[in-house]
Structure 1
Amino acid sequence: MAGRRVKSVINEVALVESQALRQSFTERTEALDRVKTLSLLPNGMHVTTAMVAAYFEVAETVVNNLLSRHREELESNGLRVIRGAELQEFKELILSSYPESYPQPRSSMALWTRRTVLNVAMLLRDSKVARRVRTYLLDVEHSSRAHSLTVDAPQPANDVESLDAHITRLSEESFTRLLGTTVVPILNALIETSSEQQRELISLRENVQQIEQRLVRHDIQLRRLQLAQEQRPLTGVMASIDAMNWREFEQHIAGLLRRDDCTGIEVHGGSGDRGADITGYTADGRRLVVQCKNFAPYRSVWSGEMQKFVGTKTLHRADVAVYVATCPFSREALDIAMQVGVTAVHRGLLDAWSGGAKLQVLK
């Protein structure tokens, strides 16, 4: 509990007050889905003001007021307000099929990107959801900073005990440096300027080292997991798939589709066709769209990535949508896939498909 309060007193204040600091976090949009599923419009790219308010569990007027105060910053991160012919076209292409779900705006409409929603999370003071997003961002920043401080260290010995000792020593040195140059000076400044909370801040300062030690243990465990994954011998079909680059992986999936009697298979080679990696038709003539991701096996496909593909499925008016990944899918991503009719091909199913089995959706 004390560790959580330290981050609240120090880091959240900095995020809310410093635009430069907020800007350094704008690419970490995965934080939104780690805290709560962010629903997107059917195009898979935008969110309305009402949807932003619903995500953060605040009134829509709160979001509008924040937009007025920080419009320049939000627009620099992708916020757009559309009007006139552009608004009419957006309503016809995106909203017309869902009139009850998405109220039709009259004269203008704010379109929020995931980056701008994350920007809101770093500005809203009184939203519990926003605080949870900030906490996630700051946890990741702590871990990343610790890792970056050790990345150029000399390689450890081969035996496990030497590896553990080496990682532990490097991590302790890194966090000692972090403690002395960043955390403690900030706490000292707060103690000097605060009268009402001085005693509490002094107590929190004494707990900082314990917090950092917990993060050290987390970093060591993560390193062990990654090392074990790297050292595990690869065998069978998945070994060859893991060795592929993204182009080779897309061609492999295209080959499986052709093997299973799909026709008109086109691989879009990274440029994409409105977000699709592969398009074509099933043996019985249904329109097919496929997303391919050759992620590391210990990664997961998150709900935001699945939601984006849902938008691609809608744009292509696909009858069959397949999301193929060399890793697992998060529970939230699988829930979304089931709701909208996307076939999620995880690592195990990919192994079977590559080995000769046929996907049920292609039969």
Structure 2
Amino acid sequence: MKKIIIPALLFLLLSVKGQAVPYQVITVADDLNYPWSLAFLPDGSLLVTERTGKLKQFSATGEVTADVAPVLPELYVAAQGGLLEVLVPSAYSQNQQLLISYVCGDANANTVCLATARWQAQQLTDIRQIFKAEPYRKGAAHYGGRMLQLPDGSILLTLGDGFDYREQAQNPVNHLGKIVRLQPDGSVPADNPFIDQPGYASEIYSMGHRNVQGIVWDAASSRVYSHEHGPRGGDELNNIQAGKNYGWPVATRGIDYTGARVSPFRQYPGMVEPIWHWSPSIAPAGLTLYQGELFPAWQGNLFITALAGKALHRLEMVNGKVVSEQLLLTELNSRLRDVRSGPDGALYILTDSASGKLLRLLPAPQQAGD
């Protein structure tokens, strides 16, 4: 697909140091059907999932090099359910194996599944389901589905509370409202926090979550950051630690969609408070840590895409705390689904719609006389 530069989307932003940071937004690809996640392969090409069931590959210059509909076991596409995230593990160069999260089952009984597959000759082969969250539930909302590979090679997979099952986020027997930790083959790491504790699912890494749709590793501080949707307000940014309880629905700043109070508590003993929150809700959907060289002033900043908020949020972090927040790309007036820091130093963003776009955010061209 031909690269399209949109001159109207040229803005001046204030960096953390106060100087102006000009940037441009380039459309790399369009006509994507509800794109959900993107990932980079070692050759610089991109994989993009569409929630409706497609996996597409784009060259670094935006040409479509593959367009496949993987045959995932029991794939269920409805509302928020479908094909979710693709992760390129650290061992990909050796075995060409990907990890794919998706919703499996049917309208009356569905859950989040995790599969491995090999990406060879622009095709997915050897698809194998390695994990299925328990229990099944009805409805088609609050799945989580984001993944992160930790430095030790293990995988964190986020799992939502199923919307109508929010109390289960505090039930340690199951996976609803949890972040689980697995090995790349689906087995349980021997050092998981609850591995030998009776009454706890051995896969659990953390609990008390509503719907985590962003998770990232900060190597400089050895922190895992994640964000999750609140109801009406109470969206959270958290520092995820093994074995901790993050409160939902016992402690929350949000209220129910009916206007009723979810809980009288914003904090609760033994439960971790968020390091940042949003009220009213922005509906955070993607998360990345900027580590490129094109925007030096943004090094170490967190970037969050917002669906309801229709903006890209830049958070300046100092010692694990948010010291400033800036809203970018509001002029697009688009629901933003995912964001990644690319190997070329650019930021890559997916818009959320039936005609979604893959965008690249780059420094603005130097002007004559600069």
* Larger fraction in helix: 1
TM over 0.5: no
TM-score by length of structure 2 reads 0.25
Quick one: higher RCO (CA 8 Å, sep 6+), 1 or 2?
1
TM-score by length of structure 1 reads 0.25
* Larger fraction in strand: 2
